[in-house]
Amino acid sequence: MASKTSRTSKTPAYKCAECGWTTVKWVGRCGECQAWGTVEETGATVARTTAATTVLEPARRIAEVDGTTAAFLPTGVDELDRVLGGGLVPGAVILLAGEPGVGKSTLLLDVAAKFARTGQDVLYVTGEESAAQVKLRAERIDAVAHTLYLSAETDLGQALGQVEKLEPKLLIVDSVQTLSSADVEGSAGGVSQVREVAASIIAAAKRRNMTTLLVGHVTKDGSIAGPRLLEHLVDVVCQFEGERHSRLRLLRAVKNRYGATDDVGCFDLNEAGIEGLADPSGLFVSRTREPVSGTCITVTMEGRRPLLAEVQSLLAESASSQPRRATSGLDSSRVAMLLAVLQQRAGCILHKDDSYVATVGGVKLSEPATDLAVALAVASAKARKALPQRLIAFGEVGLAGEVRPVPGINQRIHEAQRLGFTHAVVPASPNGPGPIPEGFSVREVAHLAEALELLIT
């Protein structure tokens, strides 16, 4: 009787380079992250190790683990510490992403120098500039320290060799897309190279309990370049934002294993370097001796942080049958909606006027709580009458003209009082605005028409 020969067939596997999703056949679009052109053949699926091995370090009760080894270390930059939740955690890997020219390298060089001045060794690996170029920027921003070491490397093996030799407490890699491994195919910045570089650096950071800061590039739509796996591997992901023609820079934590992600750090990027702004409201509020019509101050929330900003409006009689609607720093569609609400619900005739609405200092206001300030600024420009001095206004305006409550009313009021304002127009809420500071008056309004009475009285 003829025996049958059993044959083991290997089914080719395909894997998404962005998120790691696998499938048995090739597809053009990943079924998990919906990215196009990221599914690649990886060969047969290999079974994972299931056999138990000798345990080198037994598991411990969580109460017995020494948590002091992971205590926060201040960086010397208060605004960065605010976003990170208290400072740098030993062994943590932090990814800082942002558009070109926003100031990532300047910020990290400042952090490196201040951390090095505490007596700790810091290694700054740059793959985009030479050591001499980094030294010039360090001298300009006063970031030269005795224990700050520079290394211009693009090879991953050489960079890890520098870490092995120096054993720094803080490692900065600028940027992760410029390093490449000789053991992996592809050019620097490719998906496979970024994955290998990040995994190797993270393994070294965890093994040595070395805090690591990685600079990452962003794509045209503002998302972090490279595989999505990079964001999953690191402990903290921060976005550094700012307009090219504005000095203000905002630092946000998108992911933070050691703290909250609802706080924002503010920085001022100038010729002398980058400085933290504990009170950035002065950049967003103009200083005029006399009240001017068409202006209104509002308080917006950036995470848990209240910031004062000024909205300005200018109306001019239109020479066209289609009046112009121009905005800067505000959502144009939302401003158009508010203009329609003002005309239909509050009797403010605007259909024959060109309208220009902008913010001061280049700040972008996207929070619905700024609606009331925009409406008051436009109405003030139409009436050619200035609003009372030291007045703030915030609240969301609906299509029916109602003024809806917004979160953090009491916090916004206290911030305005701290900066010298004495009056506020706020949405009416069932629980009220909360404790009012002494000498501060609050007017609650339920409809836009009630708020516009300020221009009549």
Query: If 0-12 CB within 10 Å is exposed, 13-18 middle and 19+ buried, where does residue 406 land?
Result: buried
Angle between helix axes 131-140 and 104-116 (nearest 10 degrees) is: 80
Closest CA to 328 of 314, 339, 341, 342: 314
**Contact present, 67 and 52 (Cβ < 8 Å):** no
Q: Which amino acid is at 381?
A: A
User: What is the DSSP secondary-structure string of 63-118?
Assistant: GGS-GGGG--B--S-HHHHHHHTSSBPTT-EEEEEE-TTSSHHHHHHHHHHHHHTT
Q: Annotated binding site: which residue ranges?
A: 98-105
User: What is the DSSP secondary-structure string of 105-127?
Assistant: HHHHHHHHHHHHTTT--EEEEES
How far apart, in whole angstroms, are the C-alpha atoms of residue 401 and residue 447? 6
Closest CA to 108 of 86, 132, 70, 134: 134
Q: Which amino acid is at 216?
A: G
β-partners of residue 276 are 267
β-partners of residue 302 are 305
**Contact present, 210 and 163 (Cβ < 8 Å):** yes
Query: How is residue 153 written in tokens?
Result: 């490397």
Q: Annotated binding site for ATP: which residue ranges?
A: 98-105
Q: Which residues contact 422 (CB under 8 A, 6 or more apart)?
A: 390, 391, 439, 440, 441
Three-class DSSP category at 430: coil
**Contact present, 422 and 402 (Cβ < 8 Å):** no
Q: What share of the chain is helix, strand, coil (3-state, %, to 5)?
A: 25, 30, 45
Instruction: Report residue 111: phi and psi, to 5°.
Output: -65, -45
How far apart, in whole angstroms, are the C-alpha atoms of residue 295 and residue 314? 9
In this structure, the number of other CB atoms found within 10 A of the CB of residue 282 comes to: 12
